[in-house]
Structure 1
Amino acid sequence: MNSWLEVSLTVDGELAEAVAEVLARFAPGGVAVESGVAYRHDEDEGTPSGAVCVRAYLPMDEKTEETRHKLEEALYYLGMIQPLPAPVFEPIADQNWMEAWKEHYQPIPISKRLIIVPAWLESPDEKRIPIKIDPGMAFGTGTHPTTQLCLELLENLFEANSPLVTRPTSLIDIGCGSGILSIAALKLGANFA
């Protein structure tokens, strides 16, 4: 298994793009720019404000030390324009990233009766109706507030004491993700979804 050398710098949002450009020259796998703050313009466009962490991963091989030296030199010259913090280098063991993310994905209780459960786990709450999905990259994993609100609305529509004269028997999920709303509707009592 390969291992990697992570290089990271926490810089002001104004410098993030320039630092990312330098790191991209040396990191074949790309660069990650992590901002935990709001952008300066509406709709997340423009330059992030506040501290931004820029990360890249260098493959650990016979050229790692040479690449690290060249990277530090390029950052030194960029730092002559505007001071930069020293880069932080940390060895990272390679993992099966396609599976590792699953460790952090847990069941999500929704409303009074529903719980979204990843396909590889069992439902921790037998009193709730489980919606088993493979979250992957699709929209409709249940983590977005709009999905949760739609699921709550569906639950209310299918409650036994619903103020509706007639409960719906069929629904259409016009989303473009996992089909989570259709699955919930069927589990709550719809004949067709």
Structure 2
Amino acid sequence: MSTIMYSFRSHFFKHLSSTTTLCASFFSGRRMCRPQTHSWFTSFTYTPTPHITRKHQGRFITTGAELSTPSSSSAPLLPSKASGGDSLTSSYLSVSIRCVKDVSDMLSEALLCYGASSTTVDESEDGNEVCVESIFSVSHDVKQCISLASNSIGLENIPSYQVVVHNQSDWIRAVQDSFQPVKVMEGLWIVPEWVSVPDPRATNIILNPGLAFGTGEHSTTKLCLFLLHDIIKGGETFLDFGTGSGILAIAAIKFGAALSVGFDTDAEAITAAQHNASLNG
């Protein structure tokens, strides 16, 4: 049996995409809808090696991977806390956008399609308005991005916003502090590279997401992991299209797939996926 999953992490504002399987399961995601400056696909390929075998919920899992990848431009990963991240001194833009609560989710997805690296909706405030926190590179025209995103979801006026310039190392430290081990299910953990494994007996996916989508905390990623855990019986071929950090492609191998291939067009995602493949090899 061959299992193929396409993991398109985006929304319909730009390039309609979804996460699907042959049995027509759909999940929405984010990140891959950013406009690309090239049309070629970069890929990395996992093939299992039989040197480590573990029992996981009644099913044997072969872990270990060999990485085959074309060269790609480098992109920043999150350094270990031991390194301090002081070498990453470039700046980025933190943008806070005020909007009505009803459109906050749509606006967040649209911002990702028009250049934002990440978005978060802060719903801690009372009332009808919320704050959409977003990250942009300093090269982006923030006003144009917000204008295009607003128009794409039918807003008549551009929401009010505030832009602050930050040092990238500050953002990386904040991500390190917020990204903790995630217990997806019994016997399966997503563990940051800079944190000790909570349960050595479990199946642990070691991850450094860098600037790519896929930390295991997003609900769509968790749903895909549950689905993979249920449908992979051993020996399948797996395709992760829009692989981001590579988390699903790595999980497929750990669940017993014979071959796992990840595709992406984002150089940052490819760098993260390559690194994560080596962490789990």
TM-score (norm 2): 0.36
Flag the structure with higher helix content.
1
Q: Larger % of strand: which?
A: 2
Q: Which has the larger radius of gyration?
A: 1
Does 1 or 2 have the higher relative contact order (CA < 8 Å, sep 6+)? 2
Q: TM-score, normalised by structure 1?
A: 0.50
